[in-house]
Amino acid sequence: MPIGALDQHGPHLPLGTNVLIARRLALDLSTEFRVLRAPTFYYGVSIETKELYAGTTTLRQKTFHLALNDILAGWETHGVEELILITAHRYEPHIQAIATLYPTGATIRVVQAWDAPIDDLLEVQETALRAGEAETSVLLHLYPDLVRLERATDHPIEMKEFQRYLDGRSDPPLIEAGGGTIGWPSAASAEKGAAIYSRILDSIRRSIFLEPRDSYSDSL
């Protein structure tokens, strides 16, 4: 089951960037391993000051958590014994809501796509940042028609500041020209995106589908 978030990613990427990546991963993996794929859950937990980032729409963490529990309970009543939840949204309150779901009997395995080791594939950034080199590259590879690279603006950021945002302790900086962009989208390319996406796909493939399944919840 792919789980997204409707979150502004600057003027050059679509609002559904997190949704699109999670959905494509779920589609490719379900096709390869011939497992059922649930419909995408499009909304997640994003920054509370959403009025500063046009288009961002968030559920409260409690609402998101309860909604997912209800959905998973429905699958369980139909005999589903294992559920793989895939998200590409790194915001910690969002991840916490998914990681603390409580099924009555089914095994839950949680995948945060950006936990895959891709740093060696990046040329400018230390790691994947919001709407930066990595995300922009992946969208150029998967959905080039949805990227407006000519509108992209770079915004360097200290990793400590970015981590505070991921932890839910601060908002991402509001950049007049770049909106929700953090990092260097100018360093993005479709070729780089293909390598990054392949690495993420392979990490999920090995950790979820090819290794023994003996734990309640896993991440990459």
pLDDT attached to residue 129: 76
**Least confident window among 7-16, 102-111, 125-134, 200-209:** 125-134
Q: What is the mean pLDDT of the chain?
A: 86
Question: pLDDT tens digits, residue range 173-201?
Answer: 555 544 678 888 999 999 999 999 999 99
Distance CA 128, CA 184 (A): 10
CA 183, distance to chain mean position in Å, is 16
**Average pLDDT estimate for 50-61:** 79
Confidence of residue 217 (pLDDT cuts 50, 70, 90): very low
Q: What are the strands, taking DSSP E only, across 88-178?
A: 107-112
SS3 22: helix
Provide Rg for the chain, Cα atoms.
17
Question: pLDDT tens digits, residue range 106-119?
Answer: 999 999 999 999 99
Distance CA 91, CA 35 (A): 28
What domains can be seen in the chain, in order of their start residue?
2-209 (3.40.50.10310)
Burial of 80 (0-12, 13-18, 19+ CB in 10 A): middle
**Average pLDDT estimate for 195-216:** 81
Of 129, 164, 168, 133, nearest to 147 (Cα)? 133
pLDDT for 142 beyond 80: yes
Q: Which two tokens mark 216? A: 């309640």
Distance CA 72, CA 106 (A): 9
Q: Which residue has the tokens 């990546």?
A: 21
Of 87, 184, 169, 95, nearest to 135 (Cα)? 184
Burial of 156 (0-12, 13-18, 19+ CB in 10 A): exposed
Burial of 51 (0-12, 13-18, 19+ CB in 10 A): exposed
Distance CA 10, CA 29 (A): 29
pTM equals 0.87
Of residues 65 and 154, which shows the higher confidence score? 65
